[in-house]
């Protein structure tokens, strides 16, 4: 029996910032001259992003109005790791709770106290006792709920969490697994003119997502996604091209210009291996939930898999409205896909992929379940849930 990804909830911080506004902040913070500022603004214009969200209001303010960064030219003394992680600890729980409450609000028959497992995902902050214990206390989860923290894996980590949730539910169909991803990427702005840092500063935003993984679809008209298969691949040639390091002034992202080409070269083989032992051909897949690591990455995937921008529309919409929120992003895309699913999509396969340091390429095959529940189906239809 498969497991089912039911309700997906999302949340973003209140500070919604247009890309040109952020570009202006960055140019001033980096003290760029006129020519460098023009190049920076061009980078932001072609990013495919219109708005991002941040737990920090400073990116939309002028010097003299900052709350987190120093109100000085060049933002000196620049915030160090301790102050960034203190902000993470302050802001992560409220955002995670908002995503969880959105999720549980879509599943009225699921009480928080009935959850058996809690999987927390983040690569932008950590502390102990951590977010997992704070969620147990804030949500009134059973003290015996089984907790697992998936940390510092980057943008593909939510796929790992869903794979673990799938294993837990397949082992015990009565299990009720809550996955919570919270990423506060904008805490880690790097005041550096290095190309990797300029690109990272142009792409990443803050957000949280939560999802329920259960042994049966949620009842009612809301569609679910059956988790059918997972596959992980590594592209060793990209080991140095996407990385995530802890430096003196925050977490530093390496994101080289070679990443789209590396993904383009590896995604076809990854999908082929995922589908190799399944009774489905790649040509049968018409629904996609791909991690929007950036516009060029989405275009590279389209080229490798023969997709159109319309096939990738859910990823582009999330990229446009939120940017890249690291591990939470693919859950935003899956929520977008579910929001547009109809009863006619019942049984349709869905391909989802995410990428991160390694270079790691994670893929999963899902299936739309757009009917109320197996109990409401006839014998032949109910067999599709087996």
CA angle, 321 then 59 then 251, to 5°: 85
- Measured CA to CA, the distance from residue 305 to residue 284 in angstroms comes to 12
Do 57 and 46 meet the contact criterion of CB atoms below 8 Å apart? no
Task: Give the C-alpha separation, 200 to 192, whole Å.
Answer: 11
Q: For the chain, state the CA radius of gyration.
A: 21
Determine whether 155 is an active site residue.
yes
Beta-bridge partners for 122: 151
Cα–Cα separations (whole angstroms), residue 217 to 3, 145, 370, 371, 385:
8, 22, 9, 9, 9
- Alpha helix locations (H) across the chain? 19-29, 34-45, 81-105, 131-139, 157-171, 195-203, 259-275, 295-305, 313-322, 329-339, 379-382
Q: Which of 123, 155, 185, 353 is catalytic?
A: 155
Residue 365, CA atoms < 13 Å, CB-side half-sphere: 24
Catalytic residue list: 155
């Amino acid at each position: 029996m498969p497991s089912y990804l039911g309700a997906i909830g999302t949340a973003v911080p209140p500070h919604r910032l247009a890309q040109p506004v952020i570009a202006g902040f960055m140019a001033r913070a980096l003290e760029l001259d006129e020519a460098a500022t023009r190049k920076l603004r061009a980078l932001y214009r072609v990013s495919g992003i219109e708005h991002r969200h941040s737990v920090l209001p400073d990116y939309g303010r002028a010097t003299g109005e900052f709350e987190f960064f120093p109100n000085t030219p060049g933002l000196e003394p620049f915030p160090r790791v301790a102050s960034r992680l203190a902000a993470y600890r302050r802001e992560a729980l409220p955002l995670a709770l908002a995503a969880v409450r959105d999720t549980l609000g879509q599943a009225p028959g699921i009480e928080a106290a009935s959850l058996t497992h809690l999987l927390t995902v983040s690569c932008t902050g950590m502390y102990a006792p951590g977010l997992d214990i704070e969620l147990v206390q804030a949500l009134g989860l059973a003290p015996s709920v089984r907790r697992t923290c998936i940390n510092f894996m980057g943008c593909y980590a939510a796929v790992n969490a869903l794979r673990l949730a799938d294993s837990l539910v397949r082992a015990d169909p009565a299990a009720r697994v809550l996955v919570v991803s919270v990423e506060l990427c904008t805490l880690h702005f790097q005041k550096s003119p290095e190309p990797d840092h300029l690109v990272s500063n142009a792409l990443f935003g803050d957000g949280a997502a939560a999802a329920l993984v259960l042994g049966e679809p949620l009842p009612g008209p809301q569609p679910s996604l059956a988790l059918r298969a997972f596959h992980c691949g590594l592209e060793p040639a990209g080991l140095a091209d996407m990385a995530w390091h802890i430096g003196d002034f925050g977490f530093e992202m390496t994101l080289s210009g070679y990443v789209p080409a590396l993904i383009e070269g590896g995604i076809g083989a990854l999908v082929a291996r995922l589908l190799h032992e399944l009774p489905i051909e790649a040509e049968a897949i018409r629904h996609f939930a791909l991690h929007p690591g950036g516009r060029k990455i989405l275009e590279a995937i389209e080229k490798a898999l023969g997709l159109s921008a319309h096939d990738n529309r859910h990823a582009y919409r999330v990229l446009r409205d939120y940017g890249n929120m690291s591990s939470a992003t693919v859950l935003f895309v899956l929520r977008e896909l579910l929001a547009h699913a109809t009863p006619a999509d019942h049984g349709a396969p869905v391909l989802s992929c995410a990428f991160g340091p390694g270079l790691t390429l994670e893929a999963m095959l899902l299936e739309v379940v757009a009917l109320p529940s197996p109990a409401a189906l006839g014998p032949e239809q109910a067999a599709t849930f087996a």
